[in-house]
Amino acid sequence: MPSKPNKVVAIPAPMKRASINVGFTCTNDCVFCVAADKRSFPDKTTAEIKHEMEQAYVGGARDVVFSGGECAIREDICDLVAFARDQGFLAVNIQTNGRAFASKAFCKKMILAGMTVLNPALHGHTEELHDSLTRSKGSFRQTVLGMHNMRKLSGGRVQVLVNTVVVKKNYRHLPDIARLLIGLRVHAYQFAFVHAMGNALRSFASVVPRKTDVMPYIKEAIELGKRAGLHVGVEAVPLCLMQGYEKHVSEFYIPSVELWDRGERIPKFEDIRIKYGKVKFPQCAACCHKDYCEGPWKEYPEYYGDEEFQPIVSTQ
């Protein structure tokens, strides 16, 4: 019988997280970018972001994530990180394509400012594959160098947590990506199944794979990480496809997130994600995971249907 998540994983009580989107300007143009339709929107000002941090801290958040677009290209990013630490935030996470960190001088400034987590995105194990997905020549070299720089210059004090978006073009290479990340001595890595919005929705047929096709490669990549002593997460894959790997479901670990988007504050983004972003099916009512599985992103079955998702029935 599959265990409930509190038996599958030992989930610590995480800090409340504030996720602050600083704007949509970016140095990549990923074929799967969910924010592609927002790139013409103006970025937030320094004052706006600092105000949002102040409000988030008063509301109890002690973990802040800067996201975009690409937050690391802002001229004020070091100032924003230092401001967050001065406010009292214990964790400062930079969600990034990682390219800016190819500069050792920039890494040193960000470490000195007080960042605690580097969350770069790597979508291929080779320059050809990664750059074809980011549509930015040289991005693979810069991202890999950025991870190497941060590990070396911070002495491991800054955690490097890598995210890979799973698409048609890279899913067969997930074990190769895992081997590269293990060799780079990252702290953890996650495979996030592509969300069909923005560019990915416009090119659904060429970007979004079937989840059942992906699973053997995800499971192999998980095993590689386990043998290396790393935690590997998998996001947006229902539990019926994760049998034997339930403790790697990322949704079990995501803390409560207060999202500060453009002109909007969402106090509990997880509620919006589950209610409006994900979907379940009639057959899910018979599954022993029904109370805590979120289901896939809702756009997926609109194209592929729901036959891949079959209930796991308890024997007790």
- The CATH number of whichever domain residue 84 belongs to comes to 3.20.20.70
The predicted-structure confidence for 124-173, as pLDDT tens digits, reads as follows 999 999 999 999 999 999 999 999 999 999 999 999 999 999 999 999 99
| Number of domains, the chain | 1
- Classify residue 1: in a domain, yes or no: no
Between CA 162 and CA 169, with CA 165 as vertex, the angle to 5 degrees is: 130
Instruction: Determine the Cα–Cα distance for residues 154 and 187; give it in Å rounded to an integer.
Output: 13
* Residue 3, domain member (yes or no): no
- How confident is the model at residue 279, as a pLDDT? 97
Please state whether beta strands 264-266 and 257-261 pair in parallel, antiparallel, or not at all (unpaired). antiparallel
Q: For the chain, percent helix, then strand, then coil, each to nearest 5?
A: 45, 15, 40
Positions of the chain with pLDDT lower than 50, given as ranges? 1-11, 315
**Considering the entire predicted model, what is its pTM?**
0.94
Supply the pLDDT for residue 246.
95
Q: What is the pLDDT of residue 263?
A: 72
Is 313 a member of any domain? no
The tokens for 233 are 């997460």
- Domain extent, residue 23, equals 13-304
- At residue 87's C-alpha, the angle toward residues 82 and 91, to 5°, is 70
Place of tokens 């479901």: 249
